[in-house]
Structure 1
Amino acid sequence: MASGRVEVERVFVGAGCNRIVNNVSWGPSDLIAFGAQTAVAIFCPKSAQILTTLPGHKAVVNCTYWLPSCKDAFKVEHAECHFLLSGSADGAILLWGLQIRERKWSKAFQVPEVHKKSVTCLTGILISQSVALFASASSDGIVCLWEVIIPSNCDDDCKITLLESLSVGPKPMVALSLTGLPGDLGHVILAMGGLDNKIHIYSGDKTGKLVPACQLRGHTDWIRSLDFSIPIWSDNENNSLFLVSASQDRTIRIWKMALHVSSANTEVPYRKGDAGLTSYIEGPIFQVGPTAYQVSLESLLVGHEDWVYSVQWQPPLPSKNGDIYHQPMSILSASMDKKMMIWRPEKTTGIWINEVTVGELSHSALGFYGGHWALEGDSILAHGYGGSFHLWKNMGIEYENWEPQRVPSGHFAGVSDIAWSRSGEYLLSVSHDQTSRIFAPWRSKTYIGDKITWHEIARPQVHGHDINCVAIIKGKGNHRFVSGADEKVARVFEAPLSFLKTLNHAILEDTSNFGDINEHVQILGANMSALGLSQKPIYVNASNETSRVLHKDEEDSLETIPDAVPVVLTEPPVEEQLGWHTLWPESHKLYGHGNELFALCCDHKGKLLASSCKAQSASVAEIWLWEVGSWKAVGRLQSHSLTVTQLQFSCDDSFLLAVSRDRQLSVFSITKSGDIVNYQLVVKHEAHKRIIWACAWSPFGHEFATGSRDKTVKIWAIQDASSVKQLTTLPPFRDSVTALSWTGCDRSKNSGILAIGMDNGFIELWSLSGGRVPGGQTELGPFQAELAVRFDPFLCHVSTVHRLAWRRNPDASDSKTMQLASCGADHCVRVFDVVCDM
């Protein structure tokens, strides 16, 4: 994307998965779709990178479904376009088109709005290469069946028609599965389950008229997942079908639907001697057109220790000659007991058993919401309560050997603040999901060659409160940061030895560069406390004593927490390592504020830290200054009457700028002589008509920008010791301005780029120049502002941009390439390359 002399390219997207059962779908294009707040995110399991996010929904995305699904992919092996359905909490359903070769997305097509409440489940089936049916369930008690006419050209619109709308009563359905009947090309059946503990089977023809066929009883709690197999071949006839169901009663049931043979021919399909779990239990018979089908309970699978949220048949596989596809007798289940299981019938007895178990995650994981097969059946994916993905791949040849694989990761709640490390090696983010995370480009030769890919390399803080703000401590010394959360205490963290060595591997630095630090750092890592607040250090010389193995009687005790095992990572970590073994120790607590912390900033020399908290009065709204190192409070700055929303030191650290909910800006002069810090209010000015959310200093001088809910950005300059002058006001924006960041291009012209983030998620870059040239005239000159580029919506956030932060790109061979990081309420952390030729 380019406009004028500025080009923008997406480098990285980090986002967690919405914690909802039907949120994830693995398509035959080998792309995985999931909801990240109100966006649909797409990630590639081979590169472990999120490729894009699709904007369009106005509420949280609950469910996604690919057309064709992996189950139907063999029907359209050479299709040039696949489609993706997504449903959200406001009842909306969108249909997206994907051109397979170019991986290009077409604009979303809005399905007619029928549902009045949240869409909870989607399922579909291909009838032919040009016709598909899909069903949607909603918490409004309505289940709809839709027909999709698929165009021959990907750029053409689909035609979507509502065929049937079923009212299922006060207990809504939360699980659906749709399929064609064995040997019957004219009819389909729809299975639905939900809060009444029964499986409802509806049958109908392709015109969409659905009639109740039968009910399957047996589960004693909510039905959470249903999945039909493709028709099973027997004696060269595809005369039976299997349905698998999962429930909160912790069991899985396999139901068989076979062509019914009248009682005149035979009384019992099996001999009475066939006793046991696989014995034939007669169920209801239902009629579809001229054919009758008998339902029986094939097997009851018991093995999970908690609610089973997901079951799925392995996708069909081709026969040896590749002409015919058959259904593997293999089922994947996922449960809140932190396990995924693969179930298969024994070859000799036919009894279904659990052959593979993966998961059993560390104590920080809280179970799985869903499990999914790859098209070839050699990989399985789970998404968990912590918004995380867990991927295993079968690496065995003669026997199965499932090993964890890398996946994208990110926050599963709004990301409140970001900060670059002082040299730009990594990006630190904090979130209302109560974690802080470090993302970095891994420059070593990884599994995809020499290409640099971004990964989460550490999770330094896992907290018991939502984290609102963060500041990297600049200046020399070890890597340190301060975070502020929904508590009155700011917490200081210092990088342990394990992280410093991991960072060396990530950025391919010579270890000697950190030699002086390595000699003095005696802390290897950190352990979590029982309440999830303070993180206790693990010392290098005591690491062997502290690493102990829990006894069986301790495992389920709430009072005991297993010790972390800090390790030096030589390749990007997987979720199990991040969640527990990459914590940083907490070195200090800063007490003083009267309410929850809201904003933090550090000066460029790494000498002073400024902080503010949520406030409704002038006494609480004061800004505290802390001395880095001793962490003593050295100043309490009073000016505002409501929450100070952002703080920033000028480029020479001589001024501190504060903006507030009271619509005022304040500038304080800061001088430090020895151990004494002198500060004075230079100016206080009512700058905007609404809350001021953001501010940013010029990287060269004493000009600064403010952005407000009144949809304006104003540029100011400090004129003398007691006043500021407004240089210009940018044209009104389309929404509230919530984030600003200013970087320099040409010092001799005092020119730079101002990044502006808005409440609607959009980002714009403005070219600024003029004012007072550094080292030049003392008078303020004319000031120019010009729109440089407006980001494509596919690059932007889909809700409020909370923070923007610039850094020079160390990978670029020229100084024209910079990197811009952003974070927002859509759970996303984004990094862009910005090429500026100005």
Structure 2
Amino acid sequence: MSCGGVGVEIAFIGAGCNRIVNNVSWGACDLVAFGAQNAVAIFCPKTARILTTLPGHKASVNCTHWLPSNKFAFKAKQLERHFLLSGDADGAINLWEVSLSDRKWRRVLQVPQPHKKGVTCISGIMVSQTDAMFASTSSDGTVNVWEVILPSTVEGDCKLSCLDSLFVGLKPMVALSLAELPGNTGHIVLAIGGLDNKVHLYCGERTGKFVHACELKGHTDWIRSLDFSLPICTDDGTHSLLLVSSSQDKGIRIWKMALRSSLPNSNGTYRKEEISLASYIKGPVLVAGSFSYQISLESLLIGHEDWVYSVEWQPPSTDSAEGIDYHQPQSILSASMDKTMMIWQPERTTGIWMNVVTVGELSHCALGFYGGHWSPNGDSILAHGYGGSFHLWKNVGVNFDNWQPQKVPSGHHAAVTDIAWARSGEYLLSVSHDQTTRIFAPWKNEACLSDGDSWHEIARPQVHGHDINCVTVIQGKGNHRFVSGADEKVARVFEAPLSFLKTLSHATSQKSSAEDLQVDVQILGANMSALGLSQKPIYVQAAYDTPDRTGNDGLDTLETIPDAVPVVLTEPPIEEQLAWHTLWPESHKLYGHGNELFSLCCDHGGKLVASSCKAQSAMVAEIWVWQVGSWKAVGRLQSHSLTVTQMEFSHDDNLLLAVSRDRQFSVFSIKRTGTDEISYQLLARQEAHKRIIWACSWNPFGNEFATGSRDKTVKIWTVGKESVKLLITLPPFGSSVTALSWIGLDRQSNNGFLAVGMENGLIELWSLSIRRTEDGSIALPSVPSVTATLVRQLDPFMCHVSSVHRLAWRNSEKSRNCRSMQLASCGADHCVIVFEVNVD
């Protein structure tokens, strides 16, 4: 079969948000940007899908900011191109451009003179359609202010100029906001807040230096967030600007800056417009050129019970079709570590600011919100939390407020270490150093989007107390089961409860197979133990008999945490359901290894599981083989002297391949001698590469396998009767090879694709064709028996931005028969990606 064109599209990206304040930005383009490790991830709130991950940062992304931001959405209705700023933990700031019509991205530039330490906040304003200003803070004690002239043509250049660099002292600043001063004065005000508990106001002109104008005192702890309203012009002609600040002292303050007069000494003119009942505390006077502004404390908002990490004014709405006049709503959104977001508005009659909406109060396992953001039209609010999760509420009421939770993308918030497809490919299982196991699946009966199935996280079967390193799905018949291995010496076996089986039948719309299983399954769900290590079953009968029990199956109540309520999901779940109510019970623990578990695999018949652990000696580097069902250890295979990094059974289950840090591979023959006995023999061990071997994969149609190494090579080998021979070495790759997966396309011509993942995050697809002689053995050495062709280098904007940890082709019969396949990958950038691969 000749490989014509190979088309690759992204079917799904799952990723969690970095646990850091200022990481999320919702732009006027109605897209949300956030940092996921080194990547800048973009998601569309309307479809709850992550669209892309932008490569370009060498360190973890700390903050993002759209130009124009949601504050300027009223000006941006006609804009075809939007821009995004992102800052990372090394101090670098990138500027990106997106074209809304075709969703094409490009990195326009990297801001010169990067900060010496991590960027903590970026904030910008649109001065005109093509002119923007932004400021950035860093833990190096500086604040830089930039002007950027956006290009007027497609692919045009941005002009960037540094207006000022302010040294703000040894106590770093972590919050920023910029605004144009009211009254057409041509002056810009910059508010900075941080560790010294004060709000510092700097004043400057459009073109140049900023001077320290005054300080606002009142907060008693770090200032975490600042946001200016747009200039407000009231009916009596007074011009003012409002600034809201929030702090770790749990309080929120609103400051009013009222234009006094163009001449500082004409006291008579501003007396009458100066004081209202609301402005009850006079503050300092801010002088900008020949203009001065009286600052007063407008209001103090008390209601949160923990640090208030973010405050944001509701974006203005336009009063005219041209988008010139705008109405600034008197409405503030705050997000706190007390697990709530609140909307504050002044009462109509008294003008006193009140909390009018509260959302949140999440389950006990959520540790609060790091930030809250308005949608551009003000009808939705988004929070991001400690667990890397998003929480979105939309106001669906017509004549009254009715805020309801909405679907959002989800994913891991630490490196994803391993993935495995379900037996028939119905779902994808992933494990991570964020100590969770997650299940992602296409939800069939949802109102389908035009571009295929809508993928969602449908369960979180394991929430653990250790980082999880490896997983394997047990492939045989019977209930859905998997084994996971973490930074502990025990492998744990999990079995799907009834609630998951019913959820899966809703997701896949395949009632029959799930119903067959459900008859036998007596476990409804699982509860977590206090230390977060074991998950205890909740039985169907017990759940129905004692719905109001207070204890937890007779355990000491001090050691228990609130009972999970296993739920059958009829539509894709939101974070609050996933985090607690979709656990699977643990059925067995496998003891034997001397160190933390590192890799796992299961044979295709579902009879055996092999496991390995981190090792520095031959004794500890043993591969243990377990009998599925009885879970007896039936083999201890010795061959390697350092950690076995990956193992895989051949497709006839007669051979087990292992690769190791000691640069060698081993091939064992496995024979099943009785009901629960096996005999095994080391067929071959060979030093195959110059560096660590990270990955291996068998040819689905024969006894050939591939190995991939840190030495940037991939080699194809064949297992003969007595020895293993090298068939071909692929041309050197640009980076260490960290993941491999081989799929068969055509058994008659012995064709297949080998997916190669690298340490730099990139993925390549190679076509491998193996010619055999009549008797099925490999052709004579004089004839090249393997033809390898590079068929596709995946676009960097589709790939991972750091090391690929695992690749896995979807093992469904459907993909074998047609020219459409799915490839899953996971990486150190917190992402799980599913690619749709189409062969012409």
TM-score (norm 2): 0.96
Q: 2:797 aligns with which of 794, 798, 803?
A: 794
Structure 2 residue 400 is the aligned partner of structure 1 residue 399 = yes
Structure 1 residue runs of 5 or longer lacking an equivalent are 552-556
* 8 A contact 1:199–1:215 mirrored in 2: yes
Name which of structure 1's ranges 669-678 and 102-111 shifts more when overlaid on structure 2: 102-111
Match of 2:566 in 1: 566
Taking only the aligned residue pairs, the percentage that are identical comes to: 69
Match of 1:502 in 2: 503
Match of 1:554 in 2: none
Q: Distance in 1 between matches of 2:459 and 2:809?
A: 21
Offset at residue 446 of structure 1 (A): 2.5
* 8 A contact 1:760–1:798 mirrored in 2: yes
Match of 1:825 in 2: 828
Q: Distance in 2 between matches of 1:267 and 1:64?
A: 42
Distance change >3 Å, CA 7–CA 808, structure 1 → 2? farther
Structure 2 residue 250 is the aligned partner of structure 1 residue 250 = yes
Match of 1:620 in 2: 620
Q: Distance in 2 between matches of 1:560 and 1:537?
A: 14
Match of 2:193 in 1: 193
Offset at residue 630 of structure 1 (A): 0.3
Offset at residue 71 of structure 1 (A): 1.1
Match of 1:366 in 2: 367
Secondary structure of 1:641's counterpart equals: coil
Distance change >3 Å, CA 773–CA 240, structure 1 → 2? farther
* 8 A contact 1:443–1:451 mirrored in 2: no
Amino acid at match of 1:832: F
Q: Distance in 2 between matches of 1:251 and 1:558?
A: 34
Q: Distance in 2 between matches of 1:341 and 1:114?
A: 36
Secondary structure of 1:619's counterpart equals: coil
Match of 2:590 in 1: 590
Secondary structure of 2:744's counterpart equals: strand
Q: 1:816 aligns with which of 816, 819, 824?
A: 819
Offset at residue 748 of structure 1 (A): 1.6
Q: Distance in 2 between matches of 1:550 and 1:219?
A: 43
Offset at residue 527 of structure 1 (A): 0.8
Q: Distance in 2 between matches of 1:171 and 1:546?
A: 56
Amino acid at match of 2:738: T
Secondary structure of 1:240's counterpart equals: strand
Amino acid at match of 1:188: I
Kindly report which structure 2 residues correspond to 1:38-49, keeping only aligned pairs within 5 A, or say none: 38-49=38-49
Match of 2:340 in 1: 339
Amino acid at match of 1:244: V
After superposition, the C-alpha distances for 1:325-382 in whole angstroms (9 at most, x for unaligned) are 1110000000000000000011111111100000000011110000000011100000
After superposition, the C-alpha distances for 1:399-447 in whole angstroms (9 at most, x for unaligned) are 1000000000000000000000010000000000000000001111337
Match of 1:741 in 2: 741
Provide the aligned length of Structure 1 versus Structure 2.
825
Q: Distance in 2 between matches of 1:48 and 1:789?
A: 29
Q: Distance in 1 between matches of 2:346 and 2:558?
A: 38
Amino acid at match of 2:195: L
* 8 A contact 2:260–2:274 mirrored in 1: no
Q: Distance in 2 between matches of 1:774 and 1:651?
A: 21
Offset at residue 449 of structure 1 (A): 7.2
* 8 A contact 1:35–1:61 mirrored in 2: yes
Amino acid at match of 1:171: K
Distance change >3 Å, CA 310–CA 266, structure 1 → 2? closer
Q: Distance in 2 between matches of 1:266 and 1:250?
A: 34
Amino acid at match of 2:444: R
* 8 A contact 2:744–2:816 mirrored in 1: no
Match of 2:465 in 1: 464
Amino acid at match of 2:795: D
Structure 2 residue runs of 5 or longer lacking an equivalent are 552-556
Offset at residue 154 of structure 1 (A): 2.9
Amino acid at match of 1:727: L
Structure 2 residue 474 is the aligned partner of structure 1 residue 473 = yes
Secondary structure of 1:797's counterpart equals: coil
Name which of structure 1's ranges 810-819 and 13-22 shifts more when overlaid on structure 2: 810-819
Amino acid at match of 2:789: E
Q: Distance in 2 between matches of 1:731 and 1:372?
A: 48
Amino acid at match of 1:819: Q
Q: Distance in 2 between matches of 1:483 and 1:641?
A: 23
Secondary structure of 1:600's counterpart equals: strand
Secondary structure of 2:71's counterpart equals: coil
Structure 2 residue 227 is the aligned partner of structure 1 residue 227 = yes
Name which of structure 1's ranges 538-547 and 374-383 shifts more when overlaid on structure 2: 538-547
Distance change >3 Å, CA 425–CA 118, structure 1 → 2? same
Match of 1:166 in 2: 166
* 8 A contact 2:8–2:838 mirrored in 1: yes
* 8 A contact 2:427–2:440 mirrored in 1: yes
Match of 1:83 in 2: 83
CA RMSD of aligned residues (A): 2.0
Match of 2:353 in 1: 352
Match of 1:14 in 2: 14
Amino acid at match of 2:415: G
Distance change >3 Å, CA 175–CA 740, structure 1 → 2? same
Offset at residue 742 of structure 1 (A): 0.5
Q: 1:835 aligns with which of 827, 833, 838?
A: 838
Distance change >3 Å, CA 73–CA 458, structure 1 → 2? same
Distance change >3 Å, CA 585–CA 131, structure 1 → 2? same
Name which of structure 1's ranges 234-243 and 318-327 shifts more when overlaid on structure 2: 318-327
After superposition, the C-alpha distances for 1:750-786 in whole angstroms (9 at most, x for unaligned) are 2211110000001011111115479734656621111
Offset at residue 639 of structure 1 (A): 0.5
Distance change >3 Å, CA 547–CA 93, structure 1 → 2? farther
Secondary structure of 1:260's counterpart equals: strand
Amino acid at match of 2:803: T
Match of 2:102 in 1: 102
Distance change >3 Å, CA 152–CA 532, structure 1 → 2? same
Structure 2 residue 133 is the aligned partner of structure 1 residue 133 = yes
After superposition, the C-alpha distances for 1:12-71 in whole angstroms (9 at most, x for unaligned) are 100000111000000111100000111100000110000111111111000000101111
Distance change >3 Å, CA 351–CA 558, structure 1 → 2? farther
Offset at residue 450 of structure 1 (A): 9.0
Match of 2:115 in 1: 115
Offset at residue 279 of structure 1 (A): 4.7
* 8 A contact 1:547–1:563 mirrored in 2: no
Q: Distance in 2 between matches of 1:595 and 1:508?
A: 42
Amino acid at match of 2:796: P
Structure 2 residue 388 is the aligned partner of structure 1 residue 379 = no
Distance change >3 Å, CA 173–CA 422, structure 1 → 2? same
Offset at residue 111 of structure 1 (A): 1.0
Offset at residue 107 of structure 1 (A): 2.8
* 8 A contact 1:647–1:658 mirrored in 2: yes
Distance change >3 Å, CA 773–CA 404, structure 1 → 2? farther
Q: Distance in 1 between matches of 2:733 and 2:816?
A: 35
* 8 A contact 2:28–2:76 mirrored in 1: no
Distance change >3 Å, CA 606–CA 40, structure 1 → 2? same
* 8 A contact 1:655–1:670 mirrored in 2: yes
Offset at residue 318 of structure 1 (A): 2.2
Q: Distance in 2 between matches of 1:574 and 1:773?
A: 56
Q: Distance in 1 between matches of 2:208 and 2:812?
A: 56
Q: Distance in 2 between matches of 1:559 and 1:303?
A: 32
Amino acid at match of 1:805: A
After superposition, the C-alpha distances for 1:261-301 in whole angstroms (9 at most, x for unaligned) are 654457686779x4xxx352100002112111010000001
After superposition, the C-alpha distances for 1:156-185 in whole angstroms (9 at most, x for unaligned) are 110111110000110111000000011225
Match of 1:784 in 2: 787
Kindly report which structure 2 residues correspond to 1:657-696, keeping only aligned pairs within 5 A, or say none: 657-674=657-674, 675-696=676-697
Q: Distance in 1 between matches of 2:536 and 2:830?
A: 28
Name which of structure 1's ranges 149-158 and 494-503 shifts more when overlaid on structure 2: 149-158
* 8 A contact 2:529–2:560 mirrored in 1: no
Amino acid at match of 1:795: M
Kindly report which structure 2 residues correspond to 1:535-574, keeping only aligned pairs within 5 A, or say none: 535-544=535-544, 547-548=547-548, 559-574=559-574
Amino acid at match of 2:480: H
Kindly report which structure 2 residues correspond to 1:430-469, keeping only aligned pairs within 5 A, or say none: 430-446=431-447, 448=449, 451-469=452-470
Match of 2:307 in 1: 307
